[in-house]
Amino acid sequence: MISKLAYLTSPQPGRYIFNFQPFGSDALTSVEIAPDQMRNILNDGITHWLRNSLHRVPLHTNTKETQDERAPRA
């Protein structure tokens, strides 16, 4: 399911509520999640975000320009 709106709230210390509104629905659904589940969501979410938000620079490229630069000069 893809949501058009999703957010977390914490009404009290140690209580976590996941709120979401699926596409095509006007209803907001709220689900309480346990502290262990919250830790897992944060851990997995941050790991996923870091992996996908960094622009990795390739170590080696095989373009024509790179090959020309590596060729011995006469």
pLDDT of residue 37: 92
Averaged confidence pLDDT in the chain: 84
> Once rounded to an integer, what is the mean pLDDT over residues 41-66?
77
Domain assignment of residue 8, yes or no = yes
- Domain extent, residue 13, equals 3-55
pLDDT of residue 54: 72
Q: Is the pLDDT of residue 35 over 70?
A: yes
* SS3 readout for the chain: CCEEEEEEECCCCCCEEEEEEECCCCCCEEEEECHHHHHHHHHHHHHHHHHHHCCCCCCCCCCHHHHHHHCCCC
Domain assignment of residue 10, yes or no = yes
Domain assignment of residue 13, yes or no = yes
Number of domains in the chain: 1
